Chains A and B, each alone.
Chain A
């Protein structure tokens, strides 16, 4: 057919050019890592790496990468490297290359040459447009390497010659003072350059053409995925490292060291941070009231939201005919789900507080979080019930079993795994919420152990309606997320009881993280377990 290209079906073994292209990708990976390290000041810009000053090293590597990439493209153009390029690198590559050149052109025109903002925009557009043309017009091998290679060489040369050295600074001249410093610009520029270089090198590795693009895109997507996973790990590890010493401060292991539980059993471990409150005479201070408060909050929210949500899901899936009504409920539950948590807080403040003795209370916090949990429970329960095959219902109905009995004995058990998993994950989310309880429950910065809430023991009977009262429920108590917030905003002078306020904060953060993530771990584990069981049945 017209002009259909034919390439060899089988390609040769790994060649020298492949090895070179692969090494170039590796070089950009190294630059990427160096840039991240420099950004977070793990590598000092003014210091040295491997005997070279950091900026010089970065500049040299950038030039090396730029030259390698360009040589590859030109080598392919002149036929020294066997490739399979398309006619053009394409619009998106053109725009992608034009953006950094626009920044460079704009910066040079407005700052170095002093043409001002308008001049900067014009200069940037000119240089960017030129780059766009240089990328999009020539054949793909040249277009996707040379403009980017030139960028890398330029940036490298700027670093190497000391035009932008470690002491470089550019005052933006804004009313609210701000400057771009070398310690920000150098790593950031290196980071973006390494991504561009890596992309171009990966394209070269894939010998351009469709496979080259595939390679280039995959490199970026893998870097992105890896970064997200790495970010998660670093985040958690960081909190653990910072908080572990505060958490284990004064911890003991051994028979009989722990507090009594249920009045009989003595725990063999004693971790004061999670078993004490704050008191003048305590050797080690802790956050026990906040932990207990969080637990009661979650229990209350679950007791409120789960029956309501599951019941509504049953009605919507089993009884209601699909139509306007179910659609409205669906839209409003999804709307509720995305409503900002602080709005729930405002609602609780306006609706619940006046009805519970005009003050912040545990009960108001429970219900507010329950309102938040409700849409999540409803949505996940509905999904789980819809996933139950209709054959089950038909089979049961065909035996003459009434509807509710069918639901109770067929639909609900089959949907249970989905509901349970959804509820646990939802609980994880609300357990870490601060904003709603800020307005409805609050509590103190440091809470004495004596104020640990005791809901069960708090019930009492009264003579007047409503005859049952529970002052514990109507009292403000603390919860972990709120306590962390209070600790942050309380500033440095945290009071004399706590000797190491920073350690105390980090340990609180760690406990909060552990509590919340254990809900997630249980939820994800439960889902995994149910799925495995389903597979083996």
Chain B
């Protein structure tokens, strides 16, 4: 039953699309139709040529430019429509290309690191069940475990910093600060987001790391604790701005309703505004987590660059390597399987952050439909 309706729906949708295309063809003069067809086909040919690393790529591209120029002058309406459509498709295409290319590059090392479990060969499994990374001396092993551990440690510390501070700052900006203060603090938060990560890393490397090593009497420099704190500060603006949007989207009438029964501003915030914006605020923290996971340069310059687990595992005073810093540090001398292993790290990062991003969007979407339904 459900199956039938589903396929029916798909058929109907497809039919609608066909109908729309047919309408477009019917309504358009033949000359314009020819031009937009040339535009689309030549761009497609250029793209295929580019993928195939062909020297002739420039020819269809030149044709595309020429056809577009002609179309723009003679049939602007149709050309604009087709152009913007191709641009939208290109955006989707980039995401698709990213997925294809980073996955493709990581395949060989996955085969190399496969393990047979119950007679089934599971590619890549060994990268996650043993903790040894050794790219030089045999047996050569590319384990992701130490880097995953590092990323988790850094992300935990960063979330502990960015989460509470970010939400408190968002409350301040959206509910507490007088208009004039907000006018100054909000751009300040944006500027904080704009400071390049390598500058954070540089300060961390020259000031924070020696200081921390001295304070905790560690051997050498670099600790997950302080990388986490720096990364947390970098993720802070993301949390603040997304959480602030969520808090401001709670209708003013709801807040007034609470104040009118004689509650304090703080009671209104904790009992009405925060619960109503809860999903948006958690999406903000999630996005902050995503930022922290993907942060590269500060981690690269502050960490030790030795892929191993810390001893014991909770030892935050030592910082070895994260998924991001592994890539940034080793791309230079790596080739062959080791390079492919870096792509595996990239795939893990990409999937994790994509899942977080989609999760955050889903949460926000639910909040919006909930609050929207009330209005």
Contact = CB atoms under 8 A, between A and B. Distances in A.
Q: Say if the two chains contact directly (CB < 8 Å).
A: yes
Interface of A: 41, 169, 171, 174-181, 183-184, 210-211, 213-214, 217-218, 220-222, 224-225, 228-229, 231-232, 235-236, 238-239, 307-309, 311-312, 314-316, 318-320, 324, 328-347, 349-351, 354-355, 371, 374-375, 378, 402-405, 407-408, 425, 428-429, 431-435, 438-439, 464-468, 481, 484-485, 488-489, 505, 509, 512-513, 516-517, 519-520, 524
Interface in B300-347: 300-301, 310-312, 315, 317-318, 324, 327-328, 331, 342-343, 346
Contact of A315 (B85, B194, B300, B357): B85
Given A218-B176, A232-B191, A513-B195, A342 B169 contact: no
Nearest to A468: B58
Interface in B194-231: 194-199, 201-203, 205-206, 211, 215-219
A176 B196 contact: no
Nearest to A308: B87
A221 B296 contact: no
B212 to A, nearest CB: 9
Contact of B357 (A334, A403, A513): A334
Interface stretch (B30-38, B99-107, B113-121): B99-107
Contact of B55 (A316, A465, A481): A465
Contacts of A229: 185, 188
B190 interface: yes
State the main secondary structure of chain B at its contact with A. helix
B291 interface: yes
B263 interface: yes
Contacts of A405: 76-77
A68 B104 CA distance: 67
A218 B266 contact: yes
B98 A343 contact: yes
A466 B219 contact: no
Contact of A432 (B59, B197, B331, B346): B197
A217 B164 CA distance: 13
A429 B92 CA distance: 22
A435 B76 CA distance: 40
B45 interface: no
B81 A512 contact: no
A210 B263 contact: yes
Given A239-B199, A311-B84, A343 B102 contact: yes
A158 B233 CA distance: 32
Interface stretch (B123-131, B249-257, B348-356): B348-356
Contacts of A239: 199, 203
Contacts of B80: 314, 404, 407-408
B361 A331 contact: yes
B41 interface: no
B294 A340 contact: yes
Given A218-B266, A221-B168, A225-B172, A488 B294 contact: no
Interface of B: 13, 50, 53, 55-59, 76-77, 80-81, 83-85, 87-88, 90-92, 94-95, 97-98, 101-102, 104-105, 165, 168-169, 171-173, 176-177, 185, 187-199, 201-203, 205-206, 211, 215-219, 233, 236, 263-267, 287, 290-291, 293-297, 300-301, 310-312, 315, 317-318, 324, 327-328, 331, 342-343, 346, 349-350, 353-354, 356-358, 361
A316 B215 contact: no
Contact of A235 (B92, B195, B216, B318): B195
A184 B216 contact: yes
B203 A235 contact: yes
Contacts of A181: 215-217
A213 B267 CA distance: 8
A343 B191 contact: no
A484 B200 CA distance: 11
A312 B217 contact: no
Contact of A213 (B188, B266, B293, B346): B266
Contact of A354 (B53, B77, B300, B350): B53
Contacts of B356: 338
B296 A465 contact: no
Contacts of A520: 187, 190-191, 194
A387 to B, nearest CB: 14
A17 B207 CA distance: 44
A349 B97 CA distance: 12
With a 10 A CB-CB cut-off, give which of B196, B236, B318 has the most chain A CB atoms.
B196
B244 to A, nearest CB: 12
Contact of A221 (B171, B203, B312): B171
Contacts of B95: 332, 335-336
Closest 7 CB pairs of A and B: A340-B294, A432-B196, A466-B58, A311-B87, A315-B84, A175-B311, A178-B317
B190 A435 contact: no
A51 B310 CA distance: 44
A224 B165 CA distance: 7
B365 to A, nearest CB: 9
B333 to A, nearest CB: 13
A32 to B, nearest CB: 15
A434 B50 CA distance: 26
Contacts of A330: 361
A340 B231 CA distance: 13
A348 B182 CA distance: 40
A307 B91 contact: no
B33 to A, nearest CB: 16
A481 B343 contact: no
B310 to A, nearest CB: 6
B176 A176 contact: no
Nearest to A333: B91
With a 10 A CB-CB cut-off, give which of B90, B265, B354 has the most chain A CB atoms.
B354
A176 B218 contact: yes
A315 to B, nearest CB: 4
Contact of B328 (A378, A438, A516): A438
Contacts of B197: 432-435
B179 to A, nearest CB: 13
A95 B315 CA distance: 26
Contacts of A342: 294, 296, 324, 327-328, 346, 349
With a 10 A CB-CB cut-off, give which of A180, A307, A312, A333 has the most chain B CB atoms.
A312
Contacts of B206: 505
Nearest to A92: B270
B297 A346 contact: no
A339 B196 contact: no
Contacts of B350: 339-340, 343
B293 A346 contact: no
A184 B215 contact: yes
A328 B343 CA distance: 26
Contact of A465 (B56, B169, B219, B290): B56
A176 B217 contact: no
Contact of A341 (B193, B287, B294): B294
Contacts of A218: 176, 266
Contacts of A238: 203
Given A218-B176, A338-B291, A434-B196, A231 B92 contact: no
Given A176-B317, A224-B169, A351 B312 contact: no
A176 B199 contact: no
A329 B328 contact: no
A408 B76 CA distance: 11
A516 B193 CA distance: 11
Contacts of B173: 225
A484 B202 contact: yes
Given A225-B169, A329-B92, 18 more contacts: A175-B312, A211-B264, A336-B91, A336-B94, A342-B328, A344-B98, A350-B104, A351-B101, A354-B53, A374-B91, A434-B296, A467-B58, A481-B196, A485-B198, A488-B201, A513-B195, A513-B199, A517-B194
